[in-house]
Structure 1
Amino acid sequence: MTLPKSTSILHEVRTAENSAAYLLPKLQSMKDVNPKLTLLDVGAGSGTISVSFAKLIPDGHVTGVDLNPNILPRAQAAAETAGVKNIEFQQGSVYKLPFGDETFDITFCHQVLIHIGTPWDALREMLRVTKRGGIVAAREGDYETECVWPELPELSKFHRLMAGLMSAGGGDPKAGRQLLSWALKAGGEPSQITLSYSTSSYNTPTERKTCSQGLCVPLRGGSLRERALKFGLGTENDLEEMAKAWEEWAERDDASLAMLQGEILVQK
């Protein structure tokens, strides 16, 4: 099956290797003991991270859930394109996961908590469905640490737009630095929590092109544009100027972008 055209290019370059490297050593050690691991990917979206996890645990099973049922066919298409069989997708909310207590060995989310109002409740629910001795893992961005060069004025406006959209939707753009606090509030034991930080970056010509395309599409006709106009965070002209600035940025040899990512492992 051919994967249909996407408006979320940046989401679909995500894999376990580039978005969950902090989890992979623990996953490998758990797989050595139990090859039939069960893993839940919360907020799986179009499924590319879920599919890469399924490849890493071929004798195990991956379940992906997302609040938006319309994205699930795309996730299933990604699995079929990759020839992955040990995976399934279904609709579900991180606040009320449709699974019994202690169902999964690993429960994972990526860039989900940054968008929601009470992330500690989400982590508590993720802990509920995780087996005793299992792992809850999360990686979240921190928009206040974003650094971009050159500092084009329209890109600064875009930064403020994204932070404003997260806040307007009930999220917190400074999620990455708060993961430890949220995990403790969710009931995690301090001695069982591992906190780390890494960076996401777009520095090569290919990476810059991917980043630019992934931002220009929603600025010109996606949900990002709709929400920006709805919340009064930019005019149509503002959004077009931002898109043009990202195109200019992508063509510059001296352009780069990076952001700090908070990462947490909570052993139950």
Structure 2
Amino acid sequence: MSKTSTTLYTHGHERSALASHSARTAKNSAAYLLPHLKPGMHLLDIGCGPGTITLDLAALVAPGITIGIENVDTPLVTARTEAVARSDTTTRFQLADVLNLPFENETFNVVHAHQVLQHLKDPVAALREMVRVCKTDGFIAVRDADYAAMSWYPELPQLERWRETYRAAAYANGAQPDAGRRLRAWAHAAGIANPQITASVWSYADETACQWWGNGQANRCAGSIFSNQAQEQGLDDAEIEAIVNGWRQWAAEPDAWFCMPHGELLAQIRR
């Protein structure tokens, strides 16, 4: 999800970030939701990014209409290009703000958001808005990472410095990098009854996956988005370069392993 009117998006939309997000699929990022999807459902994907998850979900609910939203244009351009590559002419990608969705009450059977709430100053307000546009008996589906719970091997100090820096930058932007553990609390605060809370992980544990993840993170840390925010947190160029090199060192380790936990919220809306 990009920034909303009240939140700076910590990741930014540089090519390296979009490349990482483009590896996300419905299978590896929304498996908890898939058993509940049926053809003919109308689906809203909030924070659709480059559209890979959105288009996977769209194929499962067709001929129902799927709409993906962001509130800056850059990822939408990538998403529309992906739709053309898949010969999908019905899924729509448009500008919108999760805190002020431009849809009538009870428009969608499914309202989905992957790694979005962690970037918002007011995730509870976002959940209430998601509930508003969800049909009675429809589903709210949210998945968010938990940075404090991430783990890796070897335990390189440069990667711990990366985590400290990212979390500090996220907090400075008004975001919550450890959102995964808070989904149940946020659901209760939003008035969502009987939320189903689960967890799943992304795990990188073979040579190809570790090289892709580690070098991709190195590229992101070398980019201006991370570098500028790291400097705002007091890091100098040498410290940022050490983080970049740490990621490349980790990517080359024959025993490398990385685990990213996610919290998941699934709720059927009753009125």
Question: TM-score normalised to the size of structure 2?
Answer: 0.90
The one-character-per-residue Cα deviations of 1:176-212 (angstroms, maximum 9, x if unpaired) are: 111011011111113xx11101111111112112212
Q: Which runs of 4+ in 1 moved over 4 A?
A: none
Q: What corresponds to 2:15 in structure 1?
A: 6
SS of 1:36's partner is coil
Counterpart check, 1:82 vs 2:92: no
The one-character-per-residue Cα deviations of 1:78-108 (angstroms, maximum 9, x if unpaired) are: 1111222231101111101111111110000
Aligned-residue offset at 1:233: 4.4
The one-letter amino acid paired with 2:33 is: L
Number of matched pairs = 255
SS of 1:7's partner is helix
8 Å CA contact 1:7–1:222 kept in 2: the answer is no
> How far apart, in 2, do the equivalents of 1:259 and 1:82 lie?
29
Aligned-residue offset at 1:227: 2.2
> How far apart, in 2, do the equivalents of 1:203 and 1:11 lie?
19
SS of 1:10's partner is helix
Q: What corresponds to 1:52 in structure 2?
A: 56
Instruction: List aligned pairs for 1:30-45, cutoff 5 A.
Output: 31=38, 35-45=39-49
SS of 2:15's partner is coil
8 Å CA contact 1:161–1:233 kept in 2: the answer is no
> How far apart, in 2, do the equivalents of 1:81 and 1:223 lie?
29
The one-character-per-residue Cα deviations of 1:35-68 (angstroms, maximum 9, x if unpaired) are: 2111111011111111111222232221000122
Counterpart check, 1:92 vs 2:96: yes
In structure 2, stretches of 5+ residues that fail to align are 1-13
Q: What corresponds to 2:36 in structure 1?
A: 26
Distance 1:206 1:44, change over 3 A: same
Question: How many percent of aligned residue pairs carry the same amino acid?
Answer: 36
Counterpart check, 1:124 vs 2:134: no
Aligned-residue offset at 1:214: 2.1
Q: What corresponds to 1:171 in structure 2?
A: 175
Paired residue for 2:112, among 108, 113, 121? 108
Question: TM-score normalised to the size of structure 1?
Answer: 0.91
> How far apart, in 2, do the equivalents of 1:103 and 1:20 lie?
21
In structure 1, stretches of 5+ residues that fail to align are none
8 Å CA contact 2:69–2:95 kept in 1: the answer is yes
